Structure 1
Amino acid sequence: MEAAHAERGSGPAARRNGISNEMVAILSMGVAILGVSLASWTTLHGSIADLRVELRADMDRPRADLRGQMEQLRSDLHRDMEQLRSDLHRDLEQLRSDLHGDMEQLRSDVHGDMEQLRSAVANHVEELRSDIGALDRGVRTLDERMRAVETRLAVVEAHTGSAALASTGEGGEA
């Protein structure tokens, strides 16, 4: 009987050891649960580590792609800026050349216009001199005629005055 009690974990033998079979079974189940939990924990920890590795890889790929795109953009921008600088330099040189040509043409045109103006002014001055000479001659002729008229008038007055004196007998007017 004692043996039957010992198998069940009850009776005087089990009580002597202080642990019943039920307790041993509960402890065994607890150890088994702990083992399963530890295995699950290890599996979970491994899965988390794998996810971290995948996440890093997933983050590194876009980061590397982004770095590559940024390098490509930087390269394209540098190339475009160099092309723009070259085009601008060429356009400025062309503009400078065109401006120089236009300035030379303008200088030539102004010089030609000044020569024409100088010639026209010289012609007008000659015409004015000629007109002034003709006017001067006309004034001299008119002056000579006026003197001739004055002389005749003086002669007429002298004769008229002599005749008036003779008719009145006085030196006054008739």
Structure 2
Amino acid sequence: MNGLLQTRQHIHSSGPSTINTHNAENDSDTSSNAAHGNNVLIVDDSLSVRRSLGQMMEDAGYKPILARDGLDAVEQLKNNHADLMLVDLEMPRMNGIELTRHLRNSKQHNATPIFMITSRSTSKHRNLAAHEGVTEYFTKPYTESDLLSKIHQHLHSQVESQ
């Protein structure tokens, strides 16, 4: 997780959002006294990635909500509010681009910041993500501090714009 940042591209602005519920997946324990209280939906088909990002979010004071793929994320969003999403590009059933497209066409989630985290660093993938409405694009490896800084920046700007 603490590798070097290779690529990050700001792609899309975010709008206002609200704070709500809790973690609905059993493979992570949500901190009840989170400093920020913002819900972060983590969507990745790798259990180890979900757990490590979930722990990173908890340690930073956020409330992680975990989903195995895009379809699971859509289900999680029926019962949980996400202030920001960390989404893998390549997943079975519904990949990160398909999920982003679905969310950007949804009135409820069209302004939620979506950070794509992937090993795909080509301009083709970045351009496709930008076209579909991804907010930030990170390639692996990335630094934890840079990711957390961008998350804080986007969530802080949401609070100020409300």
Q: Shorter chain as normaliser: what TM range? A: under 0.3
> Who wins on radius of gyration, i.e. which is larger?
1
Report 1 or 2 for greater relative contact order, CA contacts < 8 Å, sequence distance ≥ 6: 2
Structure number having the greater helix percentage: 1
What TM-score results when the alignment is normalised by the length of structure 1?
Answer: 0.12
Structure number having the greater strand percentage: 2
What TM-score results when the alignment is normalised by the length of structure 2?
Answer: 0.13
